[in-house]
Structure 1
Amino acid sequence: MSRALRRPGPREATGLAALLAVGVGLALVVGSVDMPTFTGIDQVPLPGGADLGDHPYEVTAEFGDVLSLAPQSSVKVNDVAVGRVTGISLTPGSWTAKVTMRVNGKIKLPANAYAHLEQSSLLGEKYVQLSPPAEGTARGALADGDRIPLARTNRNPEVEEVFGALSMLLNGGGVAQLKTITTELNKALAGQEPQIRSMLSRVDTLVTNLDDHKEDITQALDGVNRLAATLATRKQDVGTVLTGLSPGLKVLEKQRGSLLTMLRSLDTLSDVAVDTINKSKADMIADLKALAPTLRALADSGDDLPDSLQVLLTYPFTDEVLRGVKGDYLNVYLDVTAMPGTQIIPALDPDAPAAGLDGRTSALPLPLPSVTTAGTTPSATPGGGPGATPSAPAETPGGTPATTPESEATTR
């Protein structure tokens, strides 16, 4: 059954006109308060939108793709509406989209804040989410007229993109490969559960230690970075050094055979030296033991030996030495000991009388040697006087002059 259209009556027309007038007036009032110019009904804020306050500020963000974002969409911080999108346009001279937003003046954000294009639900509206940077990296404050560059903006994947990726995975994509990977993993890990558990425990310990030393690792990487920067500034010097090393390396390469022969000879020499030391070890120990009394006697002499050597090496003696001499004579006492088995010829008999020039007997030691002076002939007497018959020193059967057990000489 059809119903014919009828023309509204005078009372209904009056009501519709009044309602239209009120709507237009409300739109004009809102536009005059919140917008600089009114260009269409899309500039009217949606019911339940964010309160911009008395002093909102305007910022812009560049997006590679705004998808289906529309003007008057919400601007949120931590999912709380703090502003709205006032305009979407293309950036002049570029293919990126510029989104203009007005944010409540009471909301303070860092100047390096991020802008993300997100969706409230699977089929919900899209909005712009403003988020601060990582902790400790914030700087400045976002002010009126600031711009968020393309490097700090991003968007969530669309439902169509998710379904497309899922379709690719299910329709001959990676499911078969996942099944193969799972089967092979089961085969590889079967019966190796304790080892895998131990490996995972060690990996957990390793990761924990790495996390505890992350500052040290960071410092090490910074040091490597500084080293690389230093090497980069001295690239020419490094190149010169490497170029200079090339001839030396070539010479080493040519003499490689000689070097190997030398190393083998050193190995043989070390074996011979070790064998020689091992064989002569007993003799060396015996020599050291025989040398021990001599060294002990030298140690017992103390400072006497160095002092006497200092005096002996200054003969004739210096005035400093002579000051210690009392009187006109310097007496020297020599104690001479004959070697064991030495035979004195003629044999000395202390009890046998010896005849002198006056016929008297006297016990004298061996005759003194002759003394030669200018203008005289060599002569010697038992007493050393003139007219004595020469006598030669007594000799042993081997031709060696005999040595008296003890003699005393006085020098004037």
Structure 2
Amino acid sequence: MPGGPGSGPGSYTVYVQMPDTLALNDNSRVRVADVFVGTVRAIQLKNWVATLTLRLDRNVKLPKNATAKIGQTSLLGSQHIELAAPPNPSAESLRDGDTIPLKNSSAYPTTEQTLASLALILRGGGIPNLEVLQNEVYNILNGRADQIRAFLGKLDTFTARLDEQREDITRAIDSTNRLLAYVGSRTDVLDRVLTEFPPLLKHFADKQQLLIDAVDATGRLSRLAAEYLSASRGDLHSDLLSLQCPLRELGRASPYLIRALKLILVRPFDVDAVPKAFRGDYFNLSLTLDLTLSSVDNAVLTGTGLSGALRALEQSWGRDPETMIPDVRYTPNPNDAPGGPLVERADRQC
């Protein structure tokens, strides 16, 4: 009421945190030793805690650790806030803007709670409920001794193994703590990620049909590839088996490939001799040509029907056969001749 306690000059405001406001409402009375000293101005929810705003008369002197309880004037009367000093009062006084925390607030039993307790006593104090509970526990345990014993054994093993891994669990907790500390120190990065991630998701959402078409096309490609590979499976397997031999021999010849490539790419010159032969727009060349008829016969006519004709013509002119190069038709193959050079050949059965 205007002009009542808590509304005059010098009155001050105190906040009270309550676990439950029950039937309390605005303008409820605030009492100290059953004396009306103020009113409840507001009931609000702050940080998920019910907080009362009290306006007290300037003459109210209470310690800073004062207690607050919700009481009831009579059996069917209105509820009020009762403030009191604790058994060990603080040296500091309760001032304007102070808050009485949850640990110092409570409530007297309400009429409903009292009647419920009285009804419980009159109906046997809950003993029938205990009997029902006992019967249910008996039904659960009856005939299951072996299962319960096995369960307890497994539980004992589990706790023992868990106890053995205490150090690992401790390390895991410490690692998690370090990870959370690291993440906590990167809040700006997380904020940027959380800020920039939604547009990316929106982009993917807008391109949803395109992604679906791409996945479908990949599925069709996979099916076609499976069909063609299945049809040519036998030929492909044969080709791979046939490639084993040349690839194996190529691996054996790998030390000589570099040298062979140096010759093949710049034939007839060696790659190291190219800078010596070619000088700008000209090159140096020194040739030794053997144009004797026997040499031309070996180089050109061997394997033809005229093989040996030039050799015979040269002999008819008086050339001594001992001074001529050997006739390749009657010269043994050095690779097959006894005492010839060693030539390593690949295994033809590979």
Range class of TM-score, shorter chain: 0.3 to 0.5
1 or 2 for the larger relative contact order (CA 8 Å, sep ≥6)? 2
Q: Which protein is richer in helix relative to its size?
A: 2
Q: How does the TM-score come out when normalised to structure 2? A: 0.46
